[in-house]
Amino acid sequence: MRQRPSDLLIYALLLLVTLAVLGMLLADWRLVLYPTLLSAGVLIALSRPGRSHRLAVALPAGVTVLLLAGYGALDALSVSDPQVSGLVFGFAPTTALYLFGIAPVLLLVGLAYACTFTTDDTEGTVE
């Protein structure tokens, strides 16, 4: 029997959630954070409409790459020099990276999703 792509995404989501739960049990925050970020991309891919759209793959992949890059940079910055001297816009570098790099990406994900995958409001209504 042939697997549908949505079935494979469900299996990937199950694996990622299992890894996150394992990270919670082992008290390893990296094993919780990174699978959770990857699961965001999987959930966006699962929620896309059934019709073919060229951004149906680009949006989940782009969101996942941006979040992984942002949190990876934050992780590397905080591990390499936790007592970093100097300020960026009046904030510690890690805080500035989160406020000006990661948080805007998180806010723009919903907007990009809404603009990309709009549906007709009259679909499925009963008159």
Query: Helices 55-80 and 103-116, interaxial angle, to 10°?
Result: 180
How far is Cα 101 from Cα 91, in angstroms, rounded to an integer? 13
Any domain includes 126: no
Q: Where do we find the tokens 């919670």?
A: 24
Q: 3-state class of 127 per DSSP? A: coil
In this prediction, residue 76 carries a pLDDT of 85
How far is Cα 100 from Cα 109, in angstroms, rounded to an integer? 15
Question: 96: exposed, middle or buried (C-beta count within 10 Å: 0-12, 13-18, 19+)?
Answer: middle
Any domain includes 106: yes
Any domain includes 125: no
Any domain includes 122: no
In this prediction, residue 73 carries a pLDDT of 87
pLDDT tens, position by position, 6-15? 778 888 889 9
Any domain includes 83: yes
* Residue 124: pLDDT over 50: no
pLDDT tens, position by position, 30-85? 888 889 888 888 887 777 766 556 666 777 788 888 888 988 888 888 776 666 66
Reading the block at residue 63, the tokens are: 């969101």
Domain containing residue 96: 5-116
Tally the domains of the chain.
1
User: Global pTM?
Assistant: 0.69
Any domain includes 123: no
Query: What DSSP assignment string belongs to 36-52?
Result: HHHHHHHHHHHHS-SS-
pLDDT tens, position by position, 107-121? 888 887 777 766 654
